[in-house]
Amino acid sequence: MDYDIRDIDLATGGRHRIDWANQEMAVLKSIHDEFEASKPLQGIRIGATMHVTTETANLMRALQAGGADIVISASNPLSTQDDVAASLVAHNEIPVFAIKGEDSETYYNHINAVLDHKPHIIMDDGADLCSVLHKERQDQIPQMIGGTEETTTGVIRLRAMAADGALKFPVIAANDAMTKHLFDNRYGTGQSTMDGIIRATNYLIAGRTVVVAGYGWCSRGIAMRASGLGGNVIVTEVDPLKALEAVMDGFRVMPMEKAAPIGDIFVTATGDINVVDKQHFEIMKDGALVANSGHFDVEINIPSLAAMSIDGARRVRPFVDQYALRDGRKINVLGEGRLINLAAAEGHPAAVMDMSFAGQALAATYLIDNRANLENTVYVVPEEVDQRIASLKLQSMGIAIDVLTDQQAAYLNSWEHGS
Ligand code: ADE
């Protein structure tokens, strides 16, 4: 079996951590058991480009139990957990192409190794796999059943492809399930981003001014958790509705230009480029921390900061690069501007990835079951799948809910009753 990982001897530790995460993934576990019995993925080759974490390992094990033949590469050069990669190879015979800290060339070689496997279904986190397949490996498109996409940034890219008529197979936006973005994007990103910043710096958040760029699902979670840790949160936005929501949620809202000289910690999660830019670095406080939790490392303009600095980055702690500026100030960039929650911490907790990855697993079977009827576009996760995941999650938490009486159901379906 071909693979490219850091060190196969890390496998035992990885296995323990995968099993630990599995205890928190009851919904995925029930799908795993169902897949094991009914083998809905028998004969299907799945190529995944996702963060190689303990949670993803449990998704891979569920897909394998369903009969799929799988190969995986990393969806970010810094997010791989090398012990998990080793365990998937050693204990599950899944070819893994992922090494934490891999350079860009290796990253794309790894994506191509996944495509060498000739997948019928691709699972993406950021749409790099889908993009390479469409740009460089079109000969493989006829064998494709479809794809799934895990994250907001990937869905935006795929919708742009679909609008251009460039998308050549159906994709399910696993991100667009309620059971994904309400929980994973908000509570997962909120907690894991603060976890990453704290692990990287050991800073106290209480009393600090935390500037959160964006107020989508992910940044809402970051603002909420930064505030919960005692931070004074400022939100920056370009969308008036989201900005208004941030105001009503109790946060100060202002342009980045105004927030830059006030903030102690800056966190971006907008999906856009140069959100923290040269003009902001010019007016930031000495010692400011700048981190990103958006999918790509484009949100902080690190090249401009490097150009402003005396001699580029000095690594002062793992995941902290300090830039000394000519006026004497120092600015600290965390995790090289890559997803701080996966670079310096372990990504979202298993309890939320449970729902996201249940959605991924069911999206794969949905593609197979509906392959005759799907068009080359981006689909949201069907509502019944969302309802099923939410019900299973509640059940796993021991929480029961009410059921409509016949009278209540009939009332909701009637229009005759008024005041
Ligand atoms: N994205 C964010 N957190 C993650 C995790 N723990 N595993 C896989 N993908 C993730």
- Ligand 1: distance of its center to the CA of 60 in Å? 13
Distance 287 CA to ligand 1 centre (A): 29
Rounded mean pLDDT, 252-281: 98
For residue 348, how far is its CA from the centre of ligand 1 (angstroms)? 5
In the chain the domains, ranked by start, together with CATH numbers, are 8-180+348-396 (3.40.50.1480), 188-343 (3.40.50.720)
Could you tell me if the CB of 180 is within 6 A of ligand 1?
no
Task: Quick: pLDDT tens for 305-363.
Answer: 999 999 999 999 999 999 999 999 999 999 999 999 999 999 999 999 999 999 999 99
* pLDDT single digits (tens) 95-110: 999 999 999 999 999 9
> Residue 273 above 90 pLDDT?
yes
Cβ atoms of 381 and 174 within 8 Å: the answer is yes
**Averaged pLDDT, 56-67:** 98
Do 52 and 125 meet the contact criterion of CB atoms below 8 Å apart?
no
The pLDDT tens digits for 203-231 are 999 999 999 999 999 999 999 999 999 99
Centre of ligand 1 from the C-alpha of residue 360, in Å: 13
**Nearest to residue 265, comparing CAs of 326, 191, 201?**
201
Q: What is the CA(124)–ligand 1 centre distance, in A?
A: 12
Q: pLDDT band for 280, please (50, 70, 90 cuts).
A: very high
Nearest ligand 1 atom to the CA of 192 is 3
**172 Cα: distance to centroid of ligand 1 (angstroms):** 18
Give the distance (Å) from ligand 1 centre to CA of residue 245: 27
Ligand 1 pocket, residue 353 CB under 6 Å: yes
55 lines ligand 1 (CB under 6 A): yes
pLDDT value of residue 184: 94
Pocket-testing residue among 55, 83, 185, ligand 1, by greatest number of atoms within 8 A of Cβ: 55
- Which atom of ligand 1 has the smallest separation from the CA of 125? 9
Residue 416 is predicted with a pLDDT of: 86
Closest CA to 361 of 78, 123, 75: 123
Contacts of the segment 31-40: beta carbons below 8 A, 24+ positions apart = 31/62, 31/358, 31/361, 31/362, 32/58, 32/61, 32/62, 32/65, 33/65, 35/62, 35/63, 35/65, 35/66, 35/67, 35/361, 36/65, 36/66, 38/66, 39/66, 39/67, 40/66, 40/67, 40/365, 40/368
* Res 419: pLDDT: 81
pTM of the predicted model, to two decimals?
0.94
255 in Cβ contact with 231 (< 8 Å): no
Q: Does residue 56 have its Cβ closer than 6 Å to ligand 1?
A: yes
Q: Indicate which atom in ligand 1 lies nearest the CA of residue 151.
A: 1
- Whether the CB of 151 sits within 6 Å of ligand 1: no
At 417, is the pLDDT very low, low, confident or very high (cuts 50, 70, 90)? confident
Q: Report the percent of the chain where pLDDT is more than 70.
A: 100
